Structure 1
Amino acid sequence: MKRREFIKNASLTGVGLAVGNSLVGCDETKSKPINEANKTVIADSKRLPLVIATWHVKEATAKAMEVLQAGGNALDAVEQGCMVEEANEKGQSVGKGGLPDRDGNVTLDACIMDKHGNCGSVVYLQNITHAVSVARKVMEETPHVMLAGEGAKQFAISSGFEPEDLLTEASKEAWEKWKVEAKYKPIINIENHDTIGMLAIDKNGDISGACTTSGLAYKMGGRVGDSPIIGSGLFVDNEIGACVATGLGEEVVKTVGSFLVVELMRQGKSPQEACEEAINRIVTKPNSNFKDFQVGYIAVNKKGETGSYSIHQWFSMTKFQDGVNEQIQSDYYNKS
């Protein structure tokens, strides 16, 4: 089952973006665990280093593990791991070759977050392949967390990134075919969206994460999903753990999903239990049409334990740990 065959006929009408007061600032999110047991949690060195990522991306996790085994840190690992998929033109989901919006523009969203709670993000970035690296530059070299559109592009170019046309012939042909019967309204006829989200723990037990995507295929111009939004698409708390999301971003944003998973782990839930509860928050909302869209979470805690869960079948996580780089099918909610 391909990543892009999940989500059908989901409406974007009336989407709200609500991020709670608890996400005041990325570098202010660290707080003492409320669960007494968590106060003494340390990484299990036998489980480290560790890399997990959304979907079947063994080349990406292999690159990240290569960085870690060479003594690199978790932040370098997730950046370089995500860059593998961004350069993969055949993937049509992130970076070069990504499927365009309804006007034929490939627009990228990405974010990154380090062990200190520092974070950077780019939204609606065009003509720059490695959006995750630009997000890291935003984090490390500007006073801001997020840059958008033309401003993000100009910052990238001024930082040495080379602009290039990201619309490949294969993606252009797919877009031309879609236009034949497409209706220009915020309804997803055939959802073609996925993301690479990656989390890593290095030998020191420090956690970092990154998320990058070309977003919803054939989206309305200007649409931004959950992937570049800290707390929704990605959240890291080095005292507790980390989470990253994939699927229909509008639904992830509504529950600030990745932050929710980490907070549930702070309260004592395992990564698996936290992912399951976060999915439950989506599917049990009044008037939820969850049968028409997919959301999946992966998570890791400070001990190196992992979890993954989705609404529908066939979501998977790639995990590289103890010398084994494997694809793991996620458990899921909708078994009807």
Structure 2
Amino acid sequence: MVNPNALRLTVTAETWPIAGQFTISRGAKTEAIVVVAELSDGRFRGRGECVPYSRYGESPAAVAAVLRQFASPVADGLTRIELQRAMPAGAARNALDCAFWDLEAKRTGQPVYSLARLPPPRPLITAYTISLGTPEAMARAAHDAAGRQLLKIKLGAEGDPARLAAIRAAAPEAELIVDANEGWNPDNLAGNLASCAQAGVTLIEQPLPADADEALRAVARPVPVCADESAHDRASLSALSGKYDAVNIKLDKTGGLTEALAMAEEARQRGLSTMAGCMVATSLSMAPAMLVAQTARVADLDGPLLLARDRAEGLVYEGSLVYPPLPALWG
């Protein structure tokens, strides 16, 4: 017999155009493809969004297929806590985990931060990303964004010192962080680190490939180095010791808010500072990450700013500030 109170899981892939082109060391794209999981009990609904990433062997079709396989377990009463064991960390679990949180908030009338026993979220300064390009193109983009307090510079190609110098000249007052997206190697690592220090960079994300980051143990780090592709969930934290000073926590890697909050706490206990990061996505992806970002050294939640348009009732961005979500969006 069909349970009339069973939760219904709906899975949808959506395409959102990017404003211009987003370029990193691994390539460029002009659209963001997200997968949305929606849970409904007939009265309330909860949503979660994820961004499948080919770097981790994910695709929108495969992630959507995995989620649809969980329609029956969800209807049979699968809980958010049980989900952590039933599905591995990654984009698919992120969408469903965040949908569970949102649904619980809608059902109880309590915001997610209260359900998670967290203080009310406050507006945060978010990084704004400058895509990889020629020194001249990146300097123009940095000049246009020079009024922002925190710029994230995509590097990871030959000639990065020249890019940094041009960007610093174009935005002399902005705090700079760098993301090499695994694009450096042991031979140019020390030189690129020195260039970052000279430019006043305050944090460097994932300079080396995840499978070749042992070289970080043997080199002086004049600027703190943050793990991204080398760190996914709590199980990956122990391997960071001696190589990294910080860790970028992204819900698409952790598999949702549940693990992300636990990972942030364990990272702090291990002496690692944290960064709350994102993929290029809509405000529905950023909303739960805002809770992780509250205790992070750096918030990098500019995904919607890189899109040609965002969801209705999306996050409010005011200069460098991003504001917590309204319940109509999530949580």
Task: Identify the structure with the greater helix proportion.
Answer: 2
User: Which is higher, the Rg of structure 1 or of structure 2?
Assistant: 2
| TM, length-normalised to structure 2 | 0.28
